[in-house]
Amino acid sequence: MKKLIIGIVFISIILMACSNQWRKDDAKPGNTDAHKKQGTNNNHKKKIKNGVTFIDDILIVNKKIPLPSDYNPGVDKSARTALTKLLNDGNKKGLKLTITSGFRSYQRQQTLFNNYVKKDGEKAANKYSAKPGSSEHQSGLSFDIGSTKTPQVNFNTDFVKTKAGKWLKAHAHEYGFIIRYPKGKETITGYQYEPWHIRYVGKKHAKAIYESHLTLEEYLGL
Ligand SMILES: [Zn+2]
C-alpha cells in the first residue's frame, strides 16, 4: 500500500513537471504557427550514424553540426538524377544553367578555407565560406548553380535577378531541392544569402519547406 501511494505521488510530480514544460515551450516567441504544425522539437527523431547527424532521416550539416573528416560519399545518386532533370528542364527554356560547384571533400574544403583565411582573414572567410566539416558540399547533396549567360553574377546575390536565378528560386523544389541559405535567415543558417546554393532533400520535404518559407534548421526543429 505504501509503495502504491509513493508511486502515485511520483507519477503526479512527473505529470505536473511535464505540463509546466509544455506551457513554457508554447510561450517561446520562436514557436511560430508553422513550427507548431510540424510538431514541437520533441517530435523530431535525431540519429547519429558514424558521426553524421540525421533528423527525421534528413542529413543535417551546418556550423554547429559538422560532418566527420572521413565522411567522403561523393555526389549522391538521387541528387545527381534530380539535378540532371532540373538542368535539362531549365536549359530547354534557354537558361544555360551550369554547375559551378558540386561535391567537395573535407580535404578540398580545408585547402579552400585556408586560402580564404590567408586572403581575407578568418572572420571574413567564415562569413562566405565554411570551415572544413561544416560545408554542405561535403554531403554530396548540394550544388551551386550559375548560368553561362550571366557568368558575372555567378556566386553573387544578383544571380537571383537573372532569369536563371528566378527560375531556380521558383522551381527547384519541384525537383527535390531547396534554396538552402535564404535571404534574412543568416542568423539561423549561419550563412549569408546564397541564391545559387541548392540542397537535395527530396520532393516531399522540398515542397513543404518551399511553401512554409522555413529554413532547413527550422523545418527540423533545431
Ligand atoms: Zn554552395
The pLDDT value given to residue 117: 96
Average pLDDT over residues 145-152: 98
Residue in 136, 194, 211, 217 annotated catalytic: 194
Out of 5-9, 40-44, 127-131, 151-155, which region has the weakest mean confidence (pLDDT)? 5-9
Q: Residue 6 falls within a domain, yes or no?
A: no
pLDDT tier for residue 82 given thresholds of 50, 70 and 90: very high
The pLDDT value given to residue 2: 56
The rounded Å distance from CA 222 to ligand 1 centre is 21
The rounded Å distance from CA 103 to ligand 1 centre is 9
H helix runs in 65-201, sequence order: 77-92, 106-120, 122-128, 163-171, 186-189
Q: Residue 17 falls within a domain, yes or no?
A: no
The rounded Å distance from CA 136 to ligand 1 centre is 7
The rounded Å distance from CA 143 to ligand 1 centre is 6
Which residue type sits at 194? E
The pLDDT value given to residue 33: 44
Q: What residues are neighbours of ligand 1 (ion), with CB under 5 Å?
A: 144, 197
Q: Residue 25 falls within a domain, yes or no?
A: no
The rounded Å distance from CA 221 to ligand 1 centre is 23
What is the chain's mean pLDDT, rounded?
Answer: 87
**Residue 175's closest CA among 58, 98, 85, 93?**
85
Q: Residue 47 falls within a domain, yes or no?
A: yes
**Residue 160's closest CA among 120, 189, 188, 192?**
192
Q: What CATH number corresponds to the domain at position 204?
A: 3.30.1380.10
CA gap 142, 155 in Å, rounded:
14
Q: Residue 7 falls within a domain, yes or no?
A: no
The pLDDT value given to residue 219: 98
Out of 12-21, 54-63, 132-141, 175-184, which region has the weakest mean confidence (pLDDT)? 12-21
The rounded Å distance from CA 78 to ligand 1 centre is 18
The pLDDT value given to residue 74: 98
The pLDDT value given to residue 127: 81
Model confidence pLDDT, tens digit, residues 110-147: 999 999 999 999 999 988 889 999 999 999 999 999 99
Cβ atoms 185, 214 nearer than 8 A: no
The pLDDT value given to residue 128: 84
Q: How far is residue 90 from each of residues 37, 158, 162, measured CA to CA in Å?
A: 33, 18, 13
122 is catalytic: no
Q: Which domain holds residue 133?
A: 31-219
Check pLDDT > 60 for residue 106: yes
Q: What's the domain count of the chain?
A: 1
Q: Residue 3 falls within a domain, yes or no?
A: no
Check pLDDT > 80 for residue 25: no
pLDDT tier for residue 31 given thresholds of 50, 70 and 90: very low
Q: Residue 90 falls within a domain, yes or no?
A: yes
Q: Rg of the Cα trace of the chain? A: 21
CA gap 198, 170 in Å, rounded:
12
Q: Residue 12 falls within a domain, yes or no?
A: no
Q: In a 10 Å sphere around its CB, with 0-12 CB exposed, 13-18 middle and 19+ buried, how is residue 98 labelled? A: middle
